[in-house]
Amino acid sequence: MALDFNLSEYGRMLKSAKDAGYNFISFSEFESVGGRAPGKYKCLLRHDVDIDLSAAFTMANLESDLGISSTYFLMLRSPVYNLMARHNHVFVEKILDLGHSIGLHYDQGFDELRGLTCAQTKVLIEDESQWLEQQFNSRVAAVSFHQPGHAVLQGEICTGDRVNTYDHNRLAGFEYFSDSNRKFPLLQDGSSSSEAVFRGFSPRNLQLLIHPVWWVYDDATTEAVWNRAIVSNLQIMQEQLLETERAYGFTREFIIR
């Protein structure tokens, strides 16, 4: 049976995690106690926000209602959303107000295209992290990488005193588990139901990567989800245009071909 990707199923999965004894910790907590936080098992719940801050805010609300906090990793080079835009800035502030944390989702592939050295990338990671901290008055304790390449996976990229989510040594006690492209590995019992996810992996500590768009938009295909997310961002852009740019005129439909 295939796992259903929607918010209801995601909520059931988180509830099953709490029932299994998992304690959700932030990367700041991991940084300060070395993963020795209270609780039977520990989960570093993280979200790489690649394309849609509106979806991220929707997921953040659900987690808050369940008493769970997570870390939302933000991109300065997202191909879809502008972190400087008014509406998106407010989404981040609201996510933080719900008790969640933010991290940096860094596009190291762009550095490779430009032939930058690992030392140059280290400086840029620190620059972007400090920018996020200044904009949102919130500590950036960790860095994740968008579509991590060889240099990241081989541990050649230094993130300074911030946790690198792909640092196999530092996070050796946490098993990595991701929903990338809506694909979960089969669980021990061959099931793929949300309730079985954490039962199948306990008693191990987990770093769980969840992309909000795969669950907030319950369309049948990943392509359809991308279409929904792009339209959502265009609608947000139009709202700001209508609110701030008098020459924009009346509300009208964007058509993507």
Domain ranges of the chain: 7-217
Of 8, 245, 136, whose CA–CA distance to 128 is shortest?
A: 136
Whole-number Cα distances in Å, 103 to 4, 12, 28, 43? 28, 25, 10, 16
The confidence score (pLDDT) of residue 21 equals 84
The tally of CA atoms less than 13 A away on the side-chain side of residue 252 is: 5
The confidence score (pLDDT) of residue 200 equals 60
**Type of residue found at 212:** P
- SS3 at position 101: strand
Q: Treating both helix axes as pointing N-terminal to C-terminal, what angle do 7-19 and 194-201 enclose, rounded to 10 degrees? A: 30
Q: Whole-model pTM?
A: 0.92
In degrees and rounded to multiples of 5, residue 174 shows phi and psi of: -125, 120
pLDDT, averaged in runs of 10, over the chain (257 residues): 82 89 91 61 94 97 97 97 95 98 96 93 97 98 91 90 93 89 64 61 81 94 94 92 91 76
Query: HEC states along 177-243?
Result: EECHHHCCCCCCCCCCCHHHHHHHHCCCEEEEECCHHHHHCCCCCHHHHHHHHHHHHHHHHHHHHHH
**CATH code for the structural domain at 7-217:** 3.20.20
Of 24, 92, 84, 82, whose CA–CA distance to 57 is shortest?
A: 92
The whole-angstrom separation of Cα 44 and Cα 25 is 6
The confidence score (pLDDT) of residue 20 equals 82
The whole-angstrom separation of Cα 31 and Cα 63 is 22
Give the contacts of 203 (CB within 8 A, at least 6 positions apart): 40, 41
The confidence score (pLDDT) of residue 1 equals 47
Whole-number Cα distances in Å, 186 to 20, 47, 126? 19, 21, 37
The confidence score (pLDDT) of residue 204 equals 79
Answer whether 91's CB lies under 8 Å from 57's CB: yes
The confidence score (pLDDT) of residue 190 equals 52
Answer whether 74's CB lies under 8 Å from 49's CB: yes
Q: Mind listing the pLDDT tens digit for each residue in 14-73?
A: 998 888 888 999 999 987 765 555 556 899 999 999 999 999 999 999 999 999 999 999
